[in-house]
Amino acid sequence: MRQIPVAKSSLSLWLKSVPLKPEHRKRLYTKRILFLSRGAQSQKERRQREVWEILKKAEDEINLPLPRVARQLLGAALYWAEGSKKGACEVTNSDPYLIAFMVKWFESIFAISPKTLKIRLNIYSQQDDLKLKKFWSQITGIPTKNFGKSFVKPVNKDYKKNNLYYGTAQIYVPKSVDNKHKIFGWLAAAFKDIAPHVEQVKKRWYLLTKVERTSAVNLDRP
């Protein structure tokens, strides 16, 4: 391959009749045995290295601090996905990174101090309510006195694949209805280039909004 830049499969076909010296046969046999012995574990480790390289290259594409408009739209997009659509601004999530970012975002974009925010946790019965409140207080900078009564989920015998070790945090921003409208105004501006197409399709399929609510229906049933 160093001398002729062609695929390995082509070289294998061309050279399959060429006899190998004993030392070369031994080396290939040893490599094959090692590969078979490691099997899936070897492939898993290789994939982990590939993922790590992808993540590292992606991180290098982002320079901090983010420009204000980038932070503004990033927070607006996260709010669009995880925030309440009615009433004041509320964000609910179990990811400490997302909650910490949104608390900092409200402070940097709207000048709302974490000390004025309210927070409520959804936790499991086996979790320590006081320790979780201290954890989220340190993550967000919201004083523990601003924590409402936690909602304790009923005991469920079903197996949970994803265990929410920190529970779920719900951030509430008092007197923030106008700020919520501003957030969706920013999003509307960001969507201007796709809005005509989306609205045209929605009008064409407006009858989908006329379906009356009924009891649950099995769509798989003929």
Residue 194 has pLDDT above 80, yes or no: yes
> Lowest-confidence range among 29-43, 95-109, 116-130, 204-218?
29-43
Q: Give 89's strand partners.
A: 173
Query: What value does the mean pLDDT take over residues 16-37?
Result: 77
Q: Give the C-alpha separation, 113 to 141, whole Å.
A: 9
Q: Does domain 68-183 have CATH number 3.10.170?
A: no
Q: Give the C-alpha separation, 97 to 95, whole Å.
A: 5
Residue 178 has pLDDT above 90, yes or no: yes
H/E stretch holding 118:
strand 118-124
Taking residue 134's Cβ as centre, other Cβ atoms within 10 Å add up to 13
Q: Can you give the pLDDT at residue 218?
A: 55
Per residue in 103-132, pLDDT tens? 999 999 999 999 999 999 999 988 999 999
Q: Can you give the pLDDT at residue 102?
A: 98
Residue 171 has pLDDT above 90, yes or no: yes
Per residue in 141-166, pLDDT tens? 999 999 999 999 887 665 455 567 89
Q: 174 with 119: CB under 8 angstroms? A: no
Query: What value does the mean pLDDT take over residues 18-39?
Result: 76
* Domain range annotation of the chain: 20-60, 68-183
User: Comparing 44 with 71, which gets the higher pLDDT?
Assistant: 71
